[in-house]
Copies of this chain bind each other. A is one copy, B any other.
Amino acid sequence: SRSIRLAVIPGDGIGQEVVAQGLKVLGAALPQDVKLETKNYDLGARRWHATGETLTDAELESLKDHDAILLGAIGDPSVPSGVLERGLLLKLRFAFDHYVNLRPSKLFPNTATPLAGRPDIDFVVVREGTEGPYVGNGGSLRTGTPAEVATEVSLNTAYGVERVVRDAYERANSRPRKKLTLVHKNNVLVHAGHLWKNIFDKVGAEYPDVTTDYLHVDAATIFFVTQPERFDVIVTDNLFGDILTDLAAAVTGGIGLAASGNINPSGAFPSMFEPVHGSAPDIAGTGKADPTATILSVALLLQHLGYADEAARIEAAVAEDLAERDAARTTDEIGDALAARVSG
């Protein structure tokens, strides 16, 4: 019989609450014969305050021994900025070679968008996840003095860019509109930018059916608000992808609905699924957190593990639920409603 070994990292703030609903819906969606084994990892701010640890080598080893990871949210104002982000979240993305950071954006019917005229939005951002300005390669000299100099190095390799660009072409090729847009800033960041653009063009020759486009990141933000329907698949670097996917979430109903997968397509390491939103300590414990982003991340997880029908059922349940949603429902009520739709 089939089984899924799932590592669960609820993390901080609303992370705990939304992950509970994600697991509820996962349980409801899975076929009877699939055995779900979950293992909880106590990682995040509480743990760091208690022990000073962000993620031990032993934990990293143990996480490897799973089919996937479900993560809630990491971060708390009581922890210095960067400690948990670099020491835990990015450490996982880099250690497990999550080079495809997949972030779909879809404006569901009946959800609120700040955009007038409700454009038809349905695109997916393929954000590179293991290179670029996120590598942590930098430092500072004479720190804290008037003579301080601080650097951040963006590292980009043909190896790393080609594999993610290829993944994006594959995705574009399998979607009805078959359109791929590269976003970078190759008129200023000429070295990294030209590497991206050359590889984008080279790999494109293998996908004659895919229409391609290039936009500078600044211009891309304009189209996100004036003409988001022009996008189908977008491929971009780690930092631009970070920025664009928050903006994408904002225009498609808010960060409460934005799901993501940190994917290692080779399968050598477990992929990790998480809502795009943060730990939102201001609303933790109030029941106001929207678990939908986590539940849609569970759909991405199922898709990745080969349960395409179950993933589609969750997506459909979310669409139906949003169409009827009452703004006053709690985290728990939304989770219950979606679990009921998925199993019913």
Contacts and interface: CB of A to CB of B under 8 A. Distances in A.
Given A156-B150, A156-B151, A188 B218 contact: no
14 contacts: A81-B194, A136-B190, A138-B154, A143-B195, A146-B162, A148-B195, A150-B192, A151-B153, A151-B154, A152-B191, A153-B154, A218-B242, A218-B243, A221-B250
A339 interface: no
B192 A138 contact: yes
A226 interface: yes
How many copies of this protein are present in the complex?
A: 2
A226 B152 contact: no
Interface residues of A, number: 68
Contact of A75 (B186, B187, B190, B226): B187
A88 to B, nearest CB: 11
A254 B222 CA distance: 8
A239 interface: yes
Interface string A102-126: 0000000000011111000000000
A186 B133 contact: no
Given A86-B188, A193-B81, A114 B155 contact: no
B190 A255 contact: no
Contacts of A245: 218
